[in-house]
Amino acid sequence: MSELKGSREAASHDKNHQKAANMSWYCEAERELLHIRRAIGLLEQAQHAFINKSSVNDPAYWRVKLNKLRTQSMRNKVLELQVDELLARLALIQDPHCRK
């Protein structure tokens, strides 16, 4: 009987650990999206004002980060929609005539 109880406790612990890992991943993805969203906002406001042309001033840099997030979050529709919205904003920065 004690073996059964031990295996149930182990299964419960594994399930709780998996939930925590999923929550942690989602929180990290949300944090990264917030960071990217703020950077894109700065690019939208002052892209031409940047004197130094570092990689973070290039929309391509942020597109790579978003595409990486997209592959990691393919099963999460909320994150997918946020990534799509940010990619559309990047497209407008590169080509203001681009309408999605």
- Per-residue pLDDT tens for 71-93? 988 789 999 999 999 999 999 98
Strand runs labelled E in the chain: none
Q: 45-76: per-residue pLDDT in tens?
A: 886 666 667 788 889 999 999 999 999 887 89
CA dist 100 and 89 (Å) reads 9
User: With 80 as the cut, is the pLDDT of residue 7 above it?
Assistant: no
Please report the DSSP string for 61-85 in residue order.
HHHHHHHHHHHHTTT-HHHHHHHHH
Q: Which residues contact residue 25 at a Cβ distance below 8 angstroms, ignoring those fewer than 6 apart?
A: 72
Domain residues of the chain, as ranges? 2-94
Q: What is the CA radius of gyration of the chain?
A: 20
Put simply, whether the predicted model's pTM sits higher than 0.75 gets the answer no
Candidates 49, 86, 48, 97; CA nearest to 64 is: 86
